[in-house]
Amino acid sequence: MDRTLTSFISALRTAEVRISPAETLDALSAVELTGYQDREFLKNTLALVLPKTIDEKETFDNTFEEFFNFVDISAQRTKSDETDGDRGDDGATSSESQGRGSGSRSQGAGTGGGASQELTDETDSEDLGRGPLAEPTSRLGQLLMRNDRIELNVQVAKSAKAVRLEEIQVFTQKGLYTRRILDEMGLAELQREINSSKESAELPIRRLGRELRHRQDWLREQVRDYVEKQFLLHADAQGLRLREELLRKVKLSNVEHRNFRLVQEIVYRMAKKLVALHSRRKKVFKRGVLNVSRTLRHNMSYDGNIFDLHWKSVKVDRPNVFAICDVSGSVSNYARFMLMFLYSLEEVMPKVRSFAFSSDLGEVTELFERNSLEDAIAKTLRDYGSGSTDYGQALLDFRKKCSNDIDNRTTIIILGDARNNYGDAHQSVLKELYDLSKRVIWLNPESRTTWNTGDAIMRKYTPYVHQAEECNSLVHLERVVSNLLRTVQ
Q: By CB under 8 A, which span of 63-71, 247-255, 289-297, 406-414 interacts with other proteins?
A: 289-297
Long-range contacts for 455-462 (Cβ within 8 Å, ≥24 apart)?
A: 455/419, 455/420, 455/421, 455/422, 456/417, 456/418, 456/419, 456/420, 457/391, 457/418, 457/419, 457/420, 457/425, 458/418, 460/425, 460/427, 461/391, 461/418, 461/425, 461/427, 461/430
| Sequence-ordered list of residues with C-beta below 8 angstroms from that of 358, at least 6 positions apart, any chain | 326, 327, 328, 329, 384, 385, 386, 387, 388, 389, 390
**Which position among 10, 23, 362, 438 is part of the footprint of other proteins (CB under 8 A)?**
23
- Are 424 and 313 a contacting pair, CB within 8 Å? no
- Are 231 and 171 a contacting pair, CB within 8 Å? yes
Q: Does 280 bind other proteins (CB under 8 A)?
A: yes
| Sequence-ordered list of residues with C-beta below 8 angstroms from that of 36, at least 6 positions apart, any chain | 1, 42, 92, 94
Cα–Cα distance for residue pair 254/401, rounded to 1 Å:
34
**Ramachandran angles phi, psi of 163, nearest 5°:** -95, 10
Q: Does 69 bind other proteins (CB under 8 A)?
A: no
In the complex, least distance from residue 41 CB atom to other proteins, rounded to whole angstroms: 7
**Which position among 10, 13, 39, 57 is part of the footprint of other proteins (CB under 8 A)?**
57
Q: Would you say 26 or 383 has its CB closer to other proteins?
A: 26
Q: Does 287 bind other proteins (CB under 8 A)?
A: no
Q: By CB under 8 A, which span of 123-131, 165-173, 179-187, 288-296 interacts with other proteins?
A: 288-296
Q: By CB under 8 A, which span of 38-46, 76-84, 318-326, 428-436 interacts with other proteins?
A: 38-46
Q: Pick out residues in 293-352 that bind other proteins (CB under 8 A).
A: 293, 296, 300, 303-304, 312, 314
Instruction: Count residues binding other proteins (CB under 8 A).
Output: 31
Assign residue 151 a region (left: φ > 0; alpha: ψ between -120 and 50; beta: otherwise). Answer: alpha
In the complex, least distance from residue 37 CB atom to other proteins, rounded to whole angstroms: 12
In the complex, least distance from residue 1 CB atom to other proteins, rounded to whole angstroms: 18
DSSP structure class, residue 412 = E
Q: Does 254 bind other proteins (CB under 8 A)?
A: no
Q: Would you say 196 or 489 has its CB closer to other proteins?
A: 489
Q: Would you say 54 or 201 has its CB closer to other proteins?
A: 54
Dihedral (C-alpha) 190, 195, 200, 203: value to the nearest 10 degrees? 70
Return the sign of the alpha-carbon dihedral for residues 443, 446, 450, 455: negative
**Which position among 3, 6, 35, 41 is part of the footprint of other proteins (CB under 8 A)?**
41
**Which position among 292, 372, 428, 463 is part of the footprint of other proteins (CB under 8 A)?**
292
Task: Kindly write down the DSSP assignment for every residue of 13-42, as one continuous string.
Answer: HHTT----HHHHHHHHHHHHHH-SS-HHHH
In the complex, least distance from residue 96 CB atom to other proteins, rounded to whole angstroms: 23
In the complex, least distance from residue 231 CB atom to other proteins, rounded to whole angstroms: 29
Q: Would you say 40 or 256 has its CB closer to other proteins?
A: 40
Q: Would you say 293 or 489 has its CB closer to other proteins?
A: 293
Q: Would you say 47 or 480 has its CB closer to other proteins?
A: 47
Side chain identity at 124, as an amino acid letter?
A: D
Q: Pick out residues in 157-216 that bind other proteins (CB under 8 A).
A: none
The site for other proteins (CB under 8 A) is made up of: 18, 20, 22-23, 26, 29-30, 33-34, 40-41, 44-45, 47-49, 51-54, 57, 280, 289, 292-293, 296, 300, 303-304, 312, 314
